[in-house]
């Protein structure tokens, strides 16, 4: 059973077990979110709308596996097609074929756009201080994956798939406790999460070891970006 609109309406209402979870079990031993997926027999399926507090807890604390439903894949593919059309257009489109902020008037050539996006992630990964608790970071990654699955961001389906694969592999990005950017207040933490997908930054792996992003990404779970 996948998460639907009914689940979204009940989010936070105490109807936590009405999501797409199956076979709840005890929490894994050791550090939450850094060991082997202790809830591997649980599955949370993300659709194009809605999730529940119980699903967040299952993924963040018990290592429940995350998978993408067909409606989420369709929604993301449709939104990505819009971005591809904008990118191919001769008319400039902010953040697609232009720079950001004060550089919005600068045209970015197609061959430089991948580098621009990578540089944006690196520039925003500016946090400091001790790492946020792994279960909090797992919740952050899960909720960002849920947002991507809505099909309203223009991101490729492979991005949501890779975030889900990272969670399922027990890889937890190291996110510093202090610092963020933007009115939403989550740009720096999310940038640190994205670094690991690029083989950069740091992550906690099985057993709680803290390793570089390249090593964390070498386990075979990440598809080429």
Catalytic center residues: 94
The alpha carbon of 27 is separated from its chain's Cα centroid by a whole number of angstroms, namely: 22
Q: At what angle do helices 134-149 and 157-168 cross, to 10 degrees?
A: 150
- The span from the first CA to the last CA of the chain, in angstroms, equals 30
CB atoms within 10 A of CB 196: 26
Distance CA 64, CA 77 (A): 25
User: What is the widest separation between alpha-carbon atoms in the chain?
Assistant: 55
**Residues 82/154, Cβ–Cβ less than 8 Å:** yes
């Amino acid at each position: 059973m996948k998460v639907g609109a009914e689940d979204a309406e009940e989010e936070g209402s105490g109807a936590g077990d009405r999501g797409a979870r199956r076979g709840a079990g005890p929490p894994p031993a050791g550090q939450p979110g850094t060991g082997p997926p202790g809830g591997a027999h649980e599955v949370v399926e993300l659709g194009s709308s809605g999730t529940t507090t119980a699903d967040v807890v299952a993924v963040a604390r018990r290592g429940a596996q995350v998978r993408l439903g067909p409606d989420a894949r369709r929604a993301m593919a449709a939104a990505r097609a819009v971005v591809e059309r904008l990118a191919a257009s001769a008319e400039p489109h902010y953040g697609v074929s232009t720079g950001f902020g004060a550089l919005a008037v600068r045209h970015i050539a197609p061959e430089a756009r991948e580098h621009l996006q990578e540089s944006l992630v690196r520039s925003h990964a500016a946090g400091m201080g001790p790492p946020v608790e792994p279960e909090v970071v797992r919740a952050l990654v899960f909720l960002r994956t849920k947002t991507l699955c809505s099909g309203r961001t223009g991101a490729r389906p492979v991005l949501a798939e890779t975030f889900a694969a990272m969670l399922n592999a027990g890889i937890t990005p190291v996110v510093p406790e202090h610092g963020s950017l933007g009115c939403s207040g989550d740009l720096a933490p999310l940038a640190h999460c994205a670094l690991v997908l690029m083989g950069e930054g740091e992550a906690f792996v099985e057993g709680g070891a803290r390793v570089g992003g390249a090593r964390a990404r070498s386990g075979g779970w990440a598809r080429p970006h």
